[in-house]
Each structure stands twice: as C-alpha cells, then as structure tokens.
Chain A
Amino acid sequence: MQMRSLRWARPTLLYALVALFLLWTLAPVLWIFVMSVQPEINYVAVPPQLNLQQVSLRWFWEMLSQQDIRDALRNSLIISFMTMVFCLFFGALAAYPLSRLNMPRKNLFLTLSIMARMIPSMVLIIPLFLLMRDLHLLDTYMALIITYSTFLLPYVIWMMKNFFDQIPYSLEAAARMDGCSRLGAIFRILLPSIAPGVVATAIFAFIGAWNEFLFGLILSTRNSMPIMVKISALVSASFHTDNSLVAATGVLAILPVVVLVFVLNRYIVRGLVEGVKF
C-alpha cells in the first residue's frame, strides 16, 4: 500500500520541481517578451489584460528603424565577432605551447593566468580609460576589441589548453611526419580535430564580448557604443518612453545569444565544463 503511493509520488514530485524550475528560469524572459509584443496599456492594467489579438511586432520594427539602435546592434556584432576571432587566434597560439611543449616557467604562466581571471574589471577600468584616451582610441572598436580580448584571453587559453590536452601526442607526430611544420600541424590537424572545442570556445568568447557592459559604458560614447550600453541608457529614460520599446530592445539584445544557446547547446555545455578544469 505504501509502496504503491510512493510509486506515483516520486515522478509527480519530480515533475512539479521541474515545472517550478522552468517557471523560475523562463518567467523573466517570457515576461519581457510578452511586454515587447503588447501595447503598454495591456500590461499596465490591474490585473494585466493580455490580448492575443493585439500581439504585434511593431515595437521591434520601431526600434529597428531607429538609426542609433541599428548602429548599436551592428557595433556589438562587429566588436563581438572581432573579439572572438582575436581570442581564438591568439588563444590557440598560446594554448598550444602551454599544453604540449616542454618549456620553462609554463606553470607560472598558467597560474598567473588563473589569477588574471580574478582581477575585477573595476581595477582596470580607470587605467584603461586613461590609456585609451592617451592612445586616442576612446570610442573606437579597437579599444573595446582589445579590452574584451584582454579579459577573455585567460579563459580562452585555459579552455583551449584543456582541449589540446585531449589530443594524443601521436596525432601531432603523424602530422609532422606527413610534412607539416609545427605551426602547420596546429592549424591543419590539431585545431580541426578539436573542432567542437574550438566552436565552444568561440561561442564563449562571442557571448562574453556581447554581454560586456562596464568597459563599453566607459570606453565608448557614440560611435562604438554597444547595445548593452544603449539599453541601459533607454532604461534610465524609460519614464518617458513606451516600455514595450525598451522590452523589445531587451529581446533584440539577447536574441543572438539565445539563438546560439539553442542551436549550439551541446558544444556550450562541454566548453563550460572544460573551462573550469585546472
């Protein structure tokens, strides 16, 4: 009798917990999405009067028709993409010797790069601001690409090192016997053979750059302003604007990364776990 009641109680409890977790995870995202496709009047009502017939994408179109929003999205895309390329290239070059070559002080560098991951950006932001100002790089893509790469590289190097570590020594040996130089072996054989890891690292770098805020806030004013900074400005002024517009911008700002997460989910999971192995 007791056994029987337990038999259905367990899955029920499990599904109830799953439902609660899904609610907790998805509610904030769904709510901002609902706001972005409904006129403000519907959700300002007490209680909210959501209306399926009034669902509309016009707030998206309105935001996308604004030059500054389009610019911000384009800026973010360019900066994040360039940061990704930069990180992958230099990260791979650095991770290879750290993973596979005999060289002195390797462990010192690895330890220092872990420490670099713990430096709060707040320490760097003032000197970087002054440095970029002196280099006349304020409000340029270059300033943000360099800064983002600097704080992402220690992560990227560790992830890639851990992926390189999984390649058997003989694979590289085979490539070099077949006629590759060391450098050739890295790009023709090693990196392709850990393609999933490279993809994971790329996504990580792209998302890291896309989501960054503080450096964007300080190092850009107009020309290179990323979407995250733009949103924070919109929110500050949201007493005067239609909140559906703010919500729509929020959805636009997370759309690329959400798509990445859904499409390339399995790479991300592996990559993230790999990134925290020391």
Chain B
Amino acid sequence: MSRVTLRGIAKSFGLVQAVKEVSLDIPDHTFVTLLGPSGCGKTTTLNLIAGLEKVTRGEILLDGISITDWAPHERGMAMVFQNYALYPHMNVYENMAFSLKLKKVPKAEIDQRVRQVAKTLEIDQLLDRRVSQLSGGQQQRVALARAMVKEPKVFLFDEPLSNLDAALRTRMRIEIKKLHQQLKTTSIFVTHDQEEAMMLSDFIAVMRDGIVVQYGPAAEIYRRPQHHYVATFIGKPRMGTIDGNLRVDTSSVNFEAKGMKLSWPRGGANMPLMDVPACLGIRAEDVRLLDTNGAASSDTFTGEVGLLEPLGSDTFVEVIRDSMNLTARVEPDRQVHVGDKVAVQLPRNKLHFFESVSGRRIDI
C-alpha cells in the first residue's frame, strides 16, 4: 500500500516561489501525471515528493505517515530522470545492483532480481556493457530497470521520455503503461507533453505558476476542463476559443462577439441567469462543418477557410472570421479549399464557457 498525500506544500528558492501551494491525494496503485509547461513547478513538486528538496511549507504523507523531513533514501521511492543519470563509472549490472547493494541484500538475491528485471525490459544482453556504450533508448531502459529492481513504494518519473526521438518515445510510453498495469506501483509522472499524459495516466494534475489548476481523471480533464488554461493546454489541435459575452436568460443561451450572435435554446432547469464577459470554447472534433454554403442559423459560425491541415486520418480546417477562428475536424476525403465560405455548427452540449476575468468554467 502506498498512498501519497500532499498537503499545501510550497517551495521557495530565495525570492522565487517555485511551488506556491499544491495539495494532491494520490491513491494507491494509480498513475498520476503532473502536467504543465516548463517553469510551472512540476519538477520541483516531484523533487519535494522525492525528498531531494525540502518543502518551505506544508506536509507530505506516505500512507498517512508524515515523511516531510525524511531524507530521500529513507522514503523508499525510485526515480527515473530525463537525462537517464546512469552512473558513468559502473556497467549496466552494477548500475542496477547499486541500490540493493546499499541495502545489503544478499548477493545471490541481487543477482536474481537484477537478471529478472533485465529480462522483463529486454536488456539482459547489455548487462556487461559500460554506460557510454549504450544508445539513448537503451540508457533509458537501464534507468527504468534500475528503478524497478528496487521494488519501490512509489515510482517517480521526471520527463523520462523527452530526450528520446519520436518513434522511441511512443514505444517507451506503451512499455511504461504495460509495466504499470503489471506492477501496479503508485507512479507519479512529470511531463509537458499532454498526449503522453493522456495516454498514460489515471489522474492528471495540470499545473501553472506553482499551483494545480485542475486535478482529476484524465478523461474529465479533457471533457470538462475547469479552467480556460486547462482547456487550451490539453488537446490537439488546441481548443478553438472566441472571446465575447455570455447571456443566459429565461428562454435561451446567447453568445455575442464582434458582430456575431449565437444562440441556443435553454436546456437545464436550474441554470442561473447571467450576463458576463466570457470565452466560448469548442474542440475540433465537436465542430460540425455544414454542407450548405453560408446558410446561417442561430448556432452556426460562418467564415472563410484559412488553413488546411491534412493528417491522413483526419483533416483539420481552420475557419476564420475577422480576428476569430475555430478549428473543425473533417473526414479526409471531404472537399474543402482555402478561401471557401463555410458554416460550422456549434452543438450546444459540446460547448465550454469560461469567465473572461478568472478563466473559471461556467457550467450551463
């Protein structure tokens, strides 16, 4: 059992507040990703969990026990680093055996465990190699193996895949996922790559400027972003947004922006009335490109095709009107040309609204 709980932890380096306040509960056996751009405090948070840095404020619990002051080697966690961080003066076997040797595990057992993990990760051919003789992908496997051999309570991953090339990255991603399904060890993964986060995690914590903006199941982060920032950070292509004004009256939901007016029938009964500056957002796959040329209705957005991104499986169409633009996903064989006048339908139940000032989600 290993559940990690962060209670309002903060970390400052001099005057710089790297982590302002982070509270997370990471249940046993889950795979949690700290996601955010560089400088958002995700790596510092990971280092705080590892004990490599000491918190300025707050508390870290492991299975209900405060480990806030513990040294890293007392916490029983293992970490995989972006630049692999293999010991250059040891060969692969020694790298893997090092932590067990420190724990004074009997030699025979060390040997057995090292070889077994090496086999799982298919690096048993490399055991005698020196680190400098390995490729980047091999080094990352060894780093993973070194962490696994310890049989840690928690796995910590610090952007382990960023130094690999695209093909290798995808393969390692799958492998890490398989390993987690097999071992079920609580894992905390740090990355700036939202695709990686979506693919791997049970839960995602989206971070910005030292705080967690949203923490929840991966699917929910995508479907119901609680913040404008999360909405636009997660998802590819970026969620299309339009700044304007949201007015909810007794009969309808209206959105106005720059000489454009959209309205939908009012749905739920207990929706509050409001009239606020807001941002409308919709994902490309939810935008429906209509066949009729420019036949506007109350829930369509008309404009001109600006850019086509044919990806083979899908084509993304950028629809521009004045300075506003949305992206729509269409079938690859659909005939669309740059400059065409088109209309797209924005279905009521696929819309997201965010307060302009705070960026918070408006539930309607």
Contact = CB atoms under 8 A, between A and B. Distances in A.
Interface of A: 102, 168, 170-171, 173-182, 184, 189, 192-193, 195
Given A193-B89, A195-B89, A177 B72 contact: yes
A174 B73 contact: no
A173 B150 contact: no
Given A173-B81, A179-B99, A179-B103, A192 B89 contact: yes
- Of A168, A173, A184, A192, most buried by chain B (CB within 10 Å of CB) is A173
Given A175-B87, A176-B52, A177-B50, A170 B73 contact: no
Interface of B: 13, 47, 50-52, 71-73, 77-79, 81-83, 85-89, 98-99, 102-103, 146, 150, 156, 158
A250 to B, nearest CB: 39
A189 B50 contact: no
A168 B85 CA distance: 8
Given A192-B89, A193-B88, A177 B77 contact: yes
Contacts of B79: 173-174, 177
B105 to A, nearest CB: 11
Contacts of B103: 179
A179 B102 contact: yes
B87 A189 contact: yes
Contacts of A178: 73, 78, 98-99, 102, 146, 150
Contacts of A170: 81-83, 85, 158
A102 B103 CA distance: 29
| 9 closest A-B pairs by CB | A170-B85, A178-B99, A179-B102, A170-B81, A174-B85, A176-B72, A179-B73, A192-B89, A177-B79
Contacts of B81: 170, 173-174
- Of B47, B50, B99, most buried by chain A (CB within 10 Å of CB) is B99
B206 to A, nearest CB: 24
A177 B73 contact: yes
A106 to B, nearest CB: 12
Contact of B83 (A168, A177, A180): A168
A181 B74 CA distance: 9
A67 B340 CA distance: 103
B102 to A, nearest CB: 4
10 contacts: A174-B81, A177-B52, A178-B99, A178-B150, A179-B99, A179-B102, A181-B71, A181-B73, A192-B87, A195-B89
Given A171-B85, A177-B50, A181-B71, 14 more contacts: A171-B88, A173-B47, A173-B81, A174-B81, A174-B146, A177-B77, A177-B78, A178-B73, A179-B102, A180-B102, A182-B71, A192-B87, A192-B89, A193-B88
Contacts of A173: 47, 50, 52, 72, 79, 81, 85
